[in-house]
Structure 1
């Protein structure tokens, strides 16, 4: 009985990892960007934590491994506001100057962060993509749909545990 429960929890975690990685790949395909990440909310620590990523340096991953809503970066702002945040040019964004250096090193100047919020309003985390140009409005709309669909899938998976 315990082994079956452990096996089921492991399968659910693998399924969640698959869902998150698939969502990130789809987001990058939608925007045509090469860099992105998904962060989930760690409710005990009170922050977002990177759980899936593509195309970033160790410096970026270290700097953004844990992000709070009080941080000035795009994902921190999106967490605080519970809505998508677009930074068209990190060099012109005075709310988070540290992002400029990381952006220069990793080769991006634009960031969008969209909350993973289910249809019922449950907040799970953040889907962010990074590139040299801002995504078009139609791409941002598709990202919003993807983010909600991903959150709804997380609700379904966690309900099965």
Structure 2
């Protein structure tokens, strides 16, 4: 039996098909590699997108929380201002004349002083004969550190406006607590500045007989010099408060707690 040899034409065709097959295999391999690379890029892009989404979500959450906290702080400030403005000039109203509680009178006195001045903060102290000093009985916008430091001020405590006003029995005004000799470098100045106070005016509350009843102090967030009108209004309020407190003391023979 004779085996027929493939013709040159057939061999050429077979070689051509083999070459095409190898080329298709190379293309398929390249496409598979490109697909794997594309898939890896897609995974990386998804991870980056997810990370970016989390960062944005966290940033937005932080901004929202900050906005809520700021809104709450503003609401508290407004409420505080409204609380102190609400009584306004209650001290001078007829319906308030019968009130004899010294702390209620002190609160009305402070409200009137803040209403008629440019001050943002303030306190009223009453003289405690047993302790020999001033004790805060009414205040606005002061925290525990301030109240603790000024819990009792005696007439030899010259490192503050109220202490000097008590010692000298005269109004003391500090335009800038940070640079005033009244507040010598030390804890008192630090407490005052930490409370947001830059200026303070302390006015003694003295009875017609010359007896020290207490002190009203108004505080400002910026360096400040009151004009003549503001000074006169504060002096008028202090005099009215001193008369009311003196009458309450005489009527009830109260002793400051």
- Give the TM interval when normalised to the shorter protein: 0.7 to 0.9
Q: Which runs of 5+ in 1 are unaligned?
A: 1-11
**Unmatched 5+ stretches in structure 2:** 1-97, 253-257
Question: C-alpha separation between the residues in 2 aligned to 1:145 and 1:14?
Answer: 20
TM-score relative to the length of structure 2: 0.55
CA distance in 1, matches of 2:138, 2:119: 15
Deviation at 1:68, TM superposition (A): 1.1
Partner of 2:213: 124
Q: How do residues 1-161 of structure 1 correspond to structure 2 at under 5 angstroms? A: 15-71=101-157, 72-96=159-183, 97=185, 98-131=187-220, 132=222, 133-161=224-252
Q: Distance in 1 between matches of 2:181 and 2:164?
A: 13
| CA displacement 1:29-48 (0-9 Å, x = unmatched) | 12222210011111111111
Larger radius of gyration: 2
Normalized per residue, the structure richer in helix is 2
Query: Any conservation in 2 of the 1:90–1:110 contact (CA below 8 Å)?
Result: yes
RMSD: 1.8
Q: What is the TM-score with the length of structure 1 in the denominator?
A: 0.85
Number of residue pairs matched by the alignment: 150
Distance 1:37 1:101, change over 3 A: same
Deviations 1:83-140 (A, max 9, x none): 1000111111234233432233221200110000122322101000110223323212
Deviation at 1:156, TM superposition (A): 1.6
